[in-house]
Structure 1
Amino acid sequence: MKKVEKESLLKSFLLFFFSQALLIGALFFLNYKKDIQTLDEKIFSQMRICSFNLQCKEYGIAFVPKKKQELYRLYRDNDLLSSYFTIPGSQKNYLKIYLPKQKYEQQLISLRKQAISAFLLVLFVTALLSFAFALYALSPLRNALRLTEEFIKDILHDFNTPLSTLRLNIAILEQKYGEVANIKRAQNAVQTILNLQANLRSYLQAHTNQQEEFFLDTVVQERVELFATSFSDITVKVMKTDVLLLTNRDAFVRIFDNLLSNALKYNKKGGSVTIYVENENLIIQDTGKGIKNQKRIFERFYKEQERGIGIGLHIVKKLCDELGIAIVLKSKVGEGSRFALNLHPIIKR
């Protein structure tokens, strides 16, 4: 199950479960209060019967002087529950029948345990029903995602033949005419399509379970050499490090490629890109145009330049989340941007 599916499942489950739990809790609370009232009525009824035959083991009996006591009413004192009744032929005293508060509390505890047990049982059944409902509600989303993925995979597969033909013909033209500007632009355009193809493949794959050890320097040097040839006017400074990583290499390369590609593409003429490690953070800093809306930069299809389609940094954020890498952006328009990748979770100790 993909991350977006898990999030949707969890949200649907929590929404349905907590709404039902609140309703069930309110109903059980009202029912508990009603049970207490029923218990009080039962106690008072037993006291009335006791006032006739005086045969009641659980209740105490006393004769008290008449004052302003209200007859046939259940009193709640600090230590006991009591009620007053008339004594036939007596003008001075009332019959007081009482129940010690300790015995009353014991009955309340028993009542409370029954209510809590029933509530937990109903809550458990509600949780199962909520999970089943969330799974059922998720099925249309899963079907839509599956259809989208299959469509993208078909498109990517269909790209292979025309792209291979283009690359072959461009290579033939380059051998025939040498390094011509038009041929170079065609090569760059094909490379852009290939990068997009690689991004989409990475977007569809899960990378958390595929891990391998590799040195950060090796990846950085390989990718810089690959990209720098197409941006000869940009200076790339790489500070060496001996950091060993344990993570999915393809996903990490895709993250680095997107960040490096953006740093080169949107840089100033004669600008620079600096790559170094600081406090277990991989820093990619450029002297480019900068980013205006930093809060939206990782949103899908959001872009501030005419070039591209706005999914590169969205894929970077998705892959970073999958690998457990925190990414932080600092940017100032006209001065450049600084991306920091926290490598702490993937550094091999």
Structure 2
Amino acid sequence: MHHHEKLAFLKFFLVYFVSIALLILAAGYFYFQQIQNHLLKEEEFSLIEYARHIKMGRPLDKYSREYHYTFKNIPKYIDIKNFSIGETEFSKLLPIHLHGKYLQVFKSKKSFNEKRFSLQQKIIAIQILLLLVFAYISYILAKNALQPLRESILTLDKFAKDLIHDLNTPVTSMQLNMKLIEKIPQLHNTKALIRLKKSINNISELHENLTILLQEETFQIHSQNICPLIQEVVEIQKTLYPDITFQIKCTAFKAKINKHAMKQILQNILSNACKYNKKDGKDGYVKIYHKNNALYIEDNGKGIKEPEKIFERSYSDENSSGLGLDIVKRLAYAMDIKIVVQKNEPAGTRFVLTLP
């Protein structure tokens, strides 16, 4: 399961399960309150029954352990519904026809506490059981809900892979023919040839980016040393931009990455750093170094006006499709790499890649 699929699965599972869990917990709470009130009523009725036995002079042997009573002179009126809940016992006042006295009866809370504790245990056990059942149901529902989405994604991936594969031959053919055309002296440095070359390069870069993005192994992560990858990509850029100075400070920088995806991220960032560097590359540089678990790529080119928008698909210029950095963002997201773009004072751009 890919990262985006895991995220969608987790969201669906949590929304459904948390909703059901809240209902179960709320139902358990209200049920407990209802039964507790019923138990309290029973305790009040038992005090009334005990008082009735006292008034009628019946034997009180069966009440001797938990009950006791006393008589009180209370001048003011007492509500017949009175029922007091103390820390250790219940009490109730009842009037008797004996010189205006009141009978106050008491009962220990021991048996009530035992019943309430037993009730709590049963409700908690039932709630845990229901939560486990609905967690399993949530898992099955989330998995089934993602199945049509996964099938659609697989269909689109297959179509995209077939399309990219079919484009491989014409792209290669255009590149080879471009090299042949460049050998014709009459066409050197003509505007039409320059525009054609740029267009072919853009198509080639787009083809390469989409090929890497659609590869299944892109999302397979392994611990690797990034420095050889950096050196490999820099060597490619040196041949394309011989006037730019590359400063690399990287010896051993290990991180959990996918080799092909990381190479494409570096290729896209370094390509932009060179493409938008100083005119003709004079006095232009690209610095690559690392601190702790962060990789820094700096240049002294013309910079970026709105760094916060650089990864948006619509953010591009006339020389770019705008897909390069959008694919960088997607590949980085798949590998849990955080990217921050900053202005490199006094001029240029700094990319900071925080790797896992």
- Residue 81 of structure 1 deviates from its aligned partner by 0.6
- Counterpart for residue 64 of structure 1: 71
> Counterpart amino acid of 2:67?
G
Is this contact kept in 2: 1:273–1:284, CA < 8 A?
A: no
- Counterpart for residue 307 of structure 1: 319
- Counterpart for residue 141 of structure 1: 149
> Structure 1 pair 310/187, CA: closer, same or farther in 2 (3 Å)?
closer
CA RMSD of aligned residues (A): 3.0
> Counterpart amino acid of 1:96?
Q
> Structure 1 pair 161/263, CA: closer, same or farther in 2 (3 Å)?
same
The equivalent position to 1:79 in structure 2, one of 74, 81, 88, is: 88
Instruction: With the length of structure 2 as denominator, give the TM-score of the two structures.
Output: 0.82
- Residue 286 of structure 1 deviates from its aligned partner by 1.9
> Structure 1 pair 274/161, CA: closer, same or farther in 2 (3 Å)?
closer
Deviation track 1:311-334 (CA, whole Å, cap 9, x = no partner) reads 222222232233343322102799
Secondary structure of 1:181 counterpart: coil
Q: Is 2:294 the counterpart of 1:286? A: no
> Counterpart amino acid of 1:265?
K
Is this contact kept in 2: 1:238–1:276, CA < 8 A?
A: yes
Instruction: With the length of structure 1 as denominator, give the TM-score of the two structures.
Output: 0.84
- Counterpart for residue 237 of structure 1: 246
Q: In the aligned structure 1, how far is the partner of 2:67 from the partner of 2:221?
A: 76
> Structure 1 pair 36/173, CA: closer, same or farther in 2 (3 Å)?
same
- Residue 164 of structure 1 deviates from its aligned partner by 2.7
> Structure 1 pair 212/63, CA: closer, same or farther in 2 (3 Å)?
closer
How many residues are paired up? 340
- Counterpart for residue 337 of structure 2: 325
1:186-205 map, 5 Å: 186-204=196-214, 205=216
Q: In the aligned structure 1, how far is the partner of 2:277 from the partner of 2:182?
A: 28
Q: Is 2:134 the counterpart of 1:123? A: no
Q: In the aligned structure 1, how far is the partner of 2:120 from the partner of 2:333?
A: 46
Q: Pick which of 30-39 and 128-137 moved more.
A: 128-137
Is this contact kept in 1: 2:234–2:246, CA < 8 A?
A: no
Is this contact kept in 1: 2:277–2:302, CA < 8 A?
A: yes
The equivalent position to 2:188 in structure 1, one of 164, 180, 188, is: 180
Is this contact kept in 2: 1:288–1:334, CA < 8 A?
A: no
Secondary structure of 1:160 counterpart: helix
Q: Is 2:304 the counterpart of 1:296? A: no
> Counterpart amino acid of 1:64?
F
Q: In the aligned structure 2, how far is the partner of 1:57 from the partner of 1:202?
A: 85
Q: Pick which of 128-137 and 171-180 moved more.
A: 171-180
> Structure 1 pair 215/70, CA: closer, same or farther in 2 (3 Å)?
closer
Secondary structure of 1:239 counterpart: strand
Deviation track 1:116-143 (CA, whole Å, cap 9, x = no partner) reads 2222222223323333333333334323
- Residue 37 of structure 1 deviates from its aligned partner by 0.8
Q: In the aligned structure 1, how far is the partner of 2:85 from the partner of 2:165?
A: 81
- Counterpart for residue 14 of structure 2: 14
- Residue 173 of structure 1 deviates from its aligned partner by 3.6
Q: Pick which of 150-159 and 117-126 moved more.
A: 117-126
- Residue 208 of structure 1 deviates from its aligned partner by 4.7
Q: Pick which of 168-177 and 118-127 moved more.
A: 168-177
Q: Pick which of 156-165 and 242-251 moved more.
A: 242-251
- Counterpart for residue 118 of structure 2: 110
Q: In the aligned structure 2, how far is the partner of 1:63 from the partner of 1:334?
A: 92
> Counterpart amino acid of 2:298?
Q
- Residue 224 of structure 1 deviates from its aligned partner by 2.5
What residue ranges of structure 1 are gaps of 5+ in the alignment?
none
What residue ranges of structure 2 are gaps of 5+ in the alignment?
54-59
Is this contact kept in 2: 1:327–1:342, CA < 8 A?
A: yes
> Structure 1 pair 190/198, CA: closer, same or farther in 2 (3 Å)?
same
Q: In the aligned structure 1, how far is the partner of 2:224 from the partner of 2:122?
A: 57
The equivalent position to 2:222 in structure 1, one of 200, 211, 235, is: 211
Identity %, equivalent residues: 30
**Runs (4+) off by over 4 Å:** 174-179, 182-188, 212-215
Secondary structure of 1:126 counterpart: helix
> Counterpart amino acid of 1:209?
Q
Q: Pick which of 129-138 and 254-263 moved more.
A: 129-138
Is this contact kept in 1: 2:219–2:334, CA < 8 A?
A: yes
